[in-house]
Amino acid sequence: MKKIILCAAVCAMVFSTEVYAQQSHPLDGVYFGLGVGGNFFKTSDEVTPRRDGTEVRDGNYNANRFMGSVVIGGGKVINKIYGGFEALFDIMKNKKIEMYTINPASGDSQLAGDLQMKGFIPQGNIKVGYSIQDNIVAYGKLGCAWSKVQKTQNSETKSKSKVSFVLGVGTEMALNNNFSTGLEADYNFGFKADGTTYNRGINVRALMKYNIK
């Protein structure tokens, strides 16, 4: 009797393992990876009153940069619904831009200083998606990013850093049980300080990940 019970228990364990293996998605598990892409941010400077009573925005300053990315996270597919979380670190060159302002008296533009957009922007995201094929997941993500700028005007330098919301979409394909590749884009809503909206724009990246089962 004991042998029969032991045999039944072993068979049940083998069967449950096989069922789990069949149900397991290749993108399940913890992962880390690297990526490359582009950062397309814009800073919209302050509104200045003009002599005729109208207002003008001093300028839009663009920072288009090549970036590298490091990502660590985890995810799980249950009944084709994907859920996950990740920490993402975008790394790029600092971008220094000359800033101009409008002279309220004359209406002419003049050099006011410079703006440096820092090149390290970490994100924290929640991801929700759908397994459109056995090895492909399409997802949306919502999270927050931290960024920093340094502004120099009238020989005075000030640094500003804040958290901003991030919204994005992407797709990921498992190449095998451990490696996957993906494409994604996200929009950073930027942050406001002293009448200026900083670091608002789009990131686009291609990723290669190693999935730990």
CA–CA separation, 68 and 14 (whole Å): 44
44 inside domain: yes
Q: What is the pLDDT of residue 98?
A: 73
Predicted confidence at residue 139, as pLDDT, reads: 98
Asked whether residue 151 is assigned to any structural domain, the reply reads yes
User: Which range among 78-87, 156-165, 181-190 shows the weakest confidence by mean pLDDT?
Assistant: 156-165
Across all residues in the chain, what is the average pLDDT? 82
CATH of the domain at 117: 2.40.160.20
Q: Rounded CA gap, 204 and 11, in Å? A: 49
More confident residue, 113 or 187: 187
> Considering the domain boundaries, does residue 194 fall inside one?
yes
Whether 204 shows a pLDDT value over 50: the answer reads yes
Number of folded domains in the chain?
A: 1
Whether 122 contacts 144, CB under 8 Å = no
For the cut 70, the answer to whether the pLDDT of residue 202 exceeds it is yes
Average pLDDT over residues 117-146: 95
Which pLDDT score is estimated for 62? 80
Closest of 132, 138, 149 to residue 188, by C-alpha? 149
pLDDT number for residue 125:
97
* Exposure string for 105-119, b = 16+ CB within 10 A, e = fewer: eeeeeeebbebbbbb
pLDDT at 213 over 80: no
Express each pLDDT in 20-30 by its tens digit.
Answer: 444 588 999 99
Q: Rounded mean pLDDT of 178-191?
A: 96
pLDDT digits (tens, 9 = 90+) for 46-72: 555 555 555 555 567 788 899 999 999
pLDDT for the residue numbered 107: 63
CA distances from 94 to 44, 123, 196 (A): 18, 18, 19
Among residues 209, 145, 146, the alpha carbon closest in space to that of 183 is found at 209
In a domain, 30, yes or no: yes
**Residue 205: predicted pLDDT:** 98
3-state secondary structure 152-212: EECCEEEEEEEEEEEEEEEEEEECCCCEEEEEEEEEECCEEECCEEEEEEEEEEEEEEEEE
Distance separating alpha carbons of residues 133 and 141, to the nearest angstrom = 19
Owning domain of residue 112: 26-212
56 vs 19, which has greater pLDDT?
56
Kind and range of the H or E run holding 108: none
pTM: 0.77
Which position has the higher pLDDT, 201 or 116? 201
CA atoms of 3 and 10, how far apart (whole Å): 10
20 domain-assigned: no
Q: Considering the domain boundaries, does residue 207 fall inside one?
A: yes
